[in-house]
Amino acid sequence: VQLQASGGGLVQAGGSLRLSCAASGSIVSINIMGWFRRAPGKQRELVAAITSGGTTKYADSVKGRFNISRDNAKNTVYLQMNSLKPEDTAVYYCQINSDSYLGQRGDYWGNGTLVTVSS
């Protein structure tokens, strides 16, 4: 399973970015899709996650500003980030929990995409 993330970049505070992450490979179904981030000098944290049924979970710091969604037909997860703050600056990673054609379930990580928010 491979995950390809894109959409990061440099934006001014108050601006918006949309991250995308497409999964490919031996995938029968994707259970949970999520976004994590690691800011300089900090531990990785969960930003948002979405189940196959559409239930979402957000970190308190992004509630009301970020929105996670998924397109099951494209095996893709999105993160719409609005009202960005300098403290949102981090490398963002997508992660999925999926089932393969061999009946195996696993967690997979995408490449990181850097989001930089200037003040």
- The residue ranges of DSSP E strands in the chain, in sequence order, are 2-6, 9-12, 17-24, 29-38, 45-51, 56-58, 66-71, 76-81, 90-99, 105-109, 113-118
Strand, coil or helix: 73 = helix
Secondary structure (3-state) at 86: helix
Q: What is the pLDDT of residue 102?
A: 85
Q: Measured between alpha carbons, how far is 37 from 35 in angstroms, rounded to an integer?
A: 7
Determine how many CB atoms are found less than 10 A away from the CB of residue 74.
12
Structure tokens at 29: 């179904």
Q: What pLDDT score does 60 carry?
A: 98
pLDDT per residue as tens digits for the range 18-48: 999 999 998 989 999 999 999 999 999 999 9
* Span 11-19, average pLDDT: 98
Give per-residue pLDDT as tens, 61-109. 999 999 999 999 999 999 999 999 999 999 999 999 999 888 889 999 9
Calpha distance 111→70 (Å, rounded) = 18
User: Do 50 and 58 meet the contact criterion of CB atoms below 8 Å apart?
Assistant: no
pLDDT at 56 over 90: yes
- In the predicted model, is pLDDT for residue 113 greater than 90? yes
Task: Report which DSSP code applies to 88.
Answer: G
